[in-house]
Amino acid sequence: MSTPLRNSATRPLVLGSTSVYRRELLSRLRLPFSVEPPHVDETPLPGEQPEALARRLAEAKCAAVAKRHPGAVVIGSDQVADLDGEALGKPGNHANALTQLSRMSGRTVVFHTALAVMCEETGFAQQDLAPVRVRFRALETSEIEAYLRAEQPYDCAGSAKSEALGIALLDSIDSDDPTALVGLPLIRTCRMLRAAGLRPF
């Protein structure tokens, strides 16, 4: 069972991530933090469902960095796009992104954004999931091509940046934690950091 950290005001905060989007989001809380790549294999396990994959990777990333910084409060997060039970990862290139967006056209995709916060030294550990239901418009191939040329979102699960031009591809977003779709659910992050004894103000 997790217990709040003691004397945690002096504990460093580390974001275990290579994502520039998560770094920008965490900076909004105005807490000093460092960033360290977790170096975790993100290959799905056989038969692993998207939600389970997101949870496992968030915890694995957090644990990997926490072991290297046992006195720090560490944040780990992962996002997996779920299209009818199929995990959609980062497209990596134009062709894959075109295929992803074509498949998601006119459909609802659930983006599972998992979060973990740990401190190795004290045994503090919490995790949560922020699912976001996203409805894509019926998209013409020409629209998809124009969007991909303009934004090149090849490092984003689901091939669209909702915080930028990608919002024009969508009909609706349903979430109780608005920044979850970008990559880090800040409401849940604040809740866990408070439980760990760290407060933005």
3-state DSSP assignment of residue 152: coil
Which one of the listed residues 78, 82, 128, 177 is annotated catalytic? Answer: 78
Active site residue 171: no
Residues contacting 95, CB < 8 A, separation 6+: none
Structure tokens at 189: 């992050």
Q: Which long-range contacts (CB under 8 A, 24 or more apart) does 181-184 make?
A: 181/111, 181/113, 181/132, 181/134, 182/21, 182/25, 183/19, 183/21, 183/22, 183/25, 183/77, 183/79, 183/113, 184/21, 184/22, 184/25, 184/26, 184/75, 184/77, 184/113, 184/115
- Active site (catalytic) residues: 78
